[in-house]
Amino acid sequence: MKFLFINPPNRKLRNEVDKAVLPIGLAYLSSVLLQDNHEVKIIDSVIEDITNYFSFRNKEYYGLGLEKLKDEIRKYNPDVVGVSCMFTSVTEISIEICRISKECKTKYTIIGGPTPSALPGFFLSESYVDIVFIGESEKSILDFVQAIEKKENPDFTDIDGIVYKNSQGDIVSQPKNNFIANLDEIPFPARHLLPVEKYFKFSSPHGGVYKSKRNTPITTSRGCPAKCCFCSSANFWGNKYRYRSPENVIKELEILKSEYKIKEFQIQDDNFTFNKKRTIEICNGLKGLGLHWSMPNGVAVWALDEDIIKAMSESGCHYVIAAIESGNQRVLKYVIKKPLNLDKVVDICNYITRHKIRLSGFFIVGFPDETLEEIKDTFNFALKCNLHIAGFNYATPLPGTRLWEQAEKENLFVSKFDMANFTYDRPSLKSKNWTIQDLESLYLSESRKYYLRTFIKHPKVILFRAMDAFKKNPVNLFKIIYYRMIGR
What is the residue-averaged pLDDT of the chain?
Answer: 92
> How does DSSP assign 357-379, residue by residue?
-EEEEEEEE--TT--HHHHHHHH
235 and 274 in a common domain: yes
Nearest to 244 by CA among 272, 216, 285: 272
The residue ranges of the chain whose pLDDT is under 70 are 14-15, 458-488
Answer yes or no: is 200 within a domain: no
pLDDT (0 to 100) of residue 484: 57
pLDDT (0 to 100) of residue 10: 95
pLDDT (0 to 100) of residue 417: 85
283 and 222 in a common domain: yes
Environment class of 8 (CB within 10 Å of its CB; exposed 0-12, middle 13-18, buried 19+): buried
pLDDT (0 to 100) of residue 16: 72
> How does DSSP assign 196-229, residue by residue?
HHHHHHH---TTS--S-SSEEEE--EE------T
By residue range, what is the domain housing residue 376?
205-486
pLDDT (0 to 100) of residue 471: 59
pLDDT (0 to 100) of residue 463: 66
pLDDT (0 to 100) of residue 485: 58
211 and 170 in a common domain: no
225 and 144 in a common domain: no
d(CA 298, CA 175): 28
How many Cβ atoms sit within 10 Å of the Cβ of residue 120? 22
pLDDT (0 to 100) of residue 18: 83
Nearest to 218 by CA among 249, 262, 183: 249
Answer yes or no: is 91 within a domain: yes
pLDDT (0 to 100) of residue 253: 98
pLDDT (0 to 100) of residue 123: 95
Q: Each residue of 128-141: pLDDT tens digit?
A: 999 999 999 999 99
Please give the tally of structural domains in the chain.
Answer: 2
20 and 85 in a common domain: yes
Pair 16, 208: CB distance under 8 Å = no
**In this structure, what CATH number is given to the domain that contains residue 379?**
3.80.30.20
Answer yes or no: is 182 within a domain: no
Answer yes or no: is 393 within a domain: yes
Nearest to 298 by CA among 277, 275, 268, 327: 268
**In this structure, what CATH number is given to the domain that contains residue 120?**
3.40.50.280
210 and 168 in a common domain: no
Answer yes or no: is 246 within a domain: yes
Amino acid type, 252: E
User: Structure pTM?
Assistant: 0.92
417 and 278 in a common domain: yes
